[in-house]
């Protein structure tokens, strides 16, 4: 049996969490967040919304079905590091192309196992998300304690442009209605869901002007998920204001939901430890129906700050934070969670159909 390399987590509060390397050797730094999903680790690893974050998985055994190429949500992992209780080295799945360990090493993702993840997650719940480092250089941890306190804060981090595509592209070539998607870190599951609803989908970079976007003659516009703090995205917020004024139907998802709120005059704030997982209960305010949702966000919309023209449609049953809103007059609605369910339950897939129906009604009047 190969001898495993020691590794260590150091958090900004100087707490030390020893373990063993199960990915690339070296150091990783970022904001530590925990994810409560039991499956979907590959979708988590390739979700651009985790840029500059280190993900701690609550489920104790990760990697038991390996890596399946078609399940990637982007072209590569964007997270800084990965923490698991135990990494499975003998996965079983007829579709797998490689093991999780091979995937982590191939993409130079520093990862650690053998950590008491239950204790670590309880620590993060009590303290809130903390900055820190993972390192396989464990001979002297004092310098690591200093590095942990120097990691960039997530508040004030404008990251959408760093994970966005550089040029526009067509996701598919057929569809009666044309959906234009702003890529702030879009997951492929969103693009697939739109295509399945009959949209021809065009994806544009985060920095695309409203004039350029509208020149493509979309029937509806989607503001995608993505990483970081929405408030520093001043130019994108101004573009969104122009898109709202255009009268085009708009759907915001996750970061897009927050950007829409800011463009409408609302405010956002940072959550203590965020919502990350595929088992978050959300209530529809009007119908009182409860959905189990897939979520990944560290910031939220301040419901009290929204203008009278906007109605809150969904609330988190965990902390009562705003999970969705709609405009009373304009064809606009948004969701804080991930309706494409990659990975996660399918309770919210219906909102893509709702968007298609809203876009269809608008298009039929033109």
Distance (Å, whole) CA 70 – CA 227: 22
Note if 254 is an active site residue. yes
The catalytic position among 275, 314, 327, 338 is: 338
Distance (Å, whole) CA 223 – CA 183: 7
Instruction: Please list, in sequence order, all residues whose beta carbon lies within 8 angstroms of the beta carbon of residue 2, skipping any fewer than 6 positions away.
Output: none
* Crossing angle between the packed helical segments 188-196 and 350-364, to the nearest 10 degrees: 60
| Cα separations in angstroms, 350 against 138, 216, 229, 265, 340 | 49, 26, 28, 28, 9
The catalytic position among 29, 43, 113, 254 is: 254
Positive or negative: CA dihedral 59, 62, 67, 72: positive
- Where residue 313 falls (left for φ over 0; alpha for ψ -120 to 50; beta otherwise) is alpha
- Is 168 in contact with 213 (CB distance < 8 Å)? no
Which candidate, 199, 187, 192, 188, places its Cα nearest to that of 355?
A: 199
Note if 22 is an active site residue. no
| Cα separations in angstroms, 173 against 169, 177, 214, 222, 300 | 10, 11, 19, 17, 35
Distance (Å, whole) CA 257 – CA 64: 34
Note if 197 is an active site residue. no
Distance (Å, whole) CA 21 – CA 114: 9
Quick check: helix, strand or coil at residue 39? coil
Which candidate, 21, 19, 44, places its Cα nearest to that of 33?
A: 44
Instruction: Please list, in sequence order, all residues whose beta carbon lies within 8 angstroms of the beta carbon of residue 288, skipping any fewer than 6 positions away.
Output: none
Could you please report the per-residue DSSP string of 105-172? HHTT-EEEES--HHHHHHHHHHH-SEEEEEES--S--HHHHHHHHHSPPSTT---HHHHS-SS-EES-
Report, as residue numbers or ranges, the catalytic residues: 254, 338, 340
């Amino acid at each position: 049996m190969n001898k495993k390399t020691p590794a260590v987590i150091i958090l900004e509060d100087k707490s030390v969490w020893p373990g063993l390397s199960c990915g690339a050797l070296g150091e990783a730094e970022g904001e530590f967040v925990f994810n409560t999903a039991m499956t979907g680790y590959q979708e988590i690893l390739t979700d651009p919304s985790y840029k500059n974050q280190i993900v701690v998985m609550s489920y104790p055994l990760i990697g038991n079905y390996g890596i399946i190429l078609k399940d990637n949500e982007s072209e590569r992992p964007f997270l800084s590091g990965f923490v698991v209780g135990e990494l499975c080295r003998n996965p079983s799945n007829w579709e797998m192309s490689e093991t999780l360990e091979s995937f982590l090493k191939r993409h130079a993702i520093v990862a650690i196992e053998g950590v008491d993840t239950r204790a670590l997650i309880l620590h993060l719940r009590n303290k809130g998300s903390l900055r820190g480092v993972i390192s396989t250089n464990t001979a002297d941890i004092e310098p690591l304690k200093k590095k942990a306190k120097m990691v960039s804060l997530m508040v004030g981090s404008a990251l959408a442009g760093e994970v966005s595509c550089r040029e526009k592209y067509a996701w598919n070539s057929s569809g009666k209605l044309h959906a234009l998607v702003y890529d702030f870190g879009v997951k492929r599951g969103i693009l697939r869901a739109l295509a399945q609803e009959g949209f021809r989908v065009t994806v544009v970079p985060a920095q695309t002007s409203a004039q350029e976007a509208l020149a493509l003659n979309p029937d509806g516009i989607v503001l995608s998920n993505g990483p970081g703090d929405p408030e520093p995205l001043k130019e994108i917020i101004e573009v969104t204001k122009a898109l709202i004024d255009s009268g085009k139907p708009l759907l915001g998802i996750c970061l897009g939901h927050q950007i829409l709120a800011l463009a409408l005059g609302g405010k956002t704030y940072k959550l203590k430890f965020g919502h990350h997982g595929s088992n978050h209960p959300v209530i529809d305010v009007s119908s009182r129906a409860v959905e189990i949702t897939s979520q990944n966000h560290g910031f939220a919309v301040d419901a009290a700050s929204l203008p009278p023209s906007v109605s809150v449609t969904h609330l988190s049953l965990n902390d009562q934070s705003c999970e969705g809103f709609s405009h009373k007059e304009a064809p606009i609605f948004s969701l804080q969670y991930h309706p494409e369910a990659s990975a996660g339950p399918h309770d919210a897939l219906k909102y893509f159909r709702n968007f298609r129906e809203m876009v269809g009604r608008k298009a039929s009047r033109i």
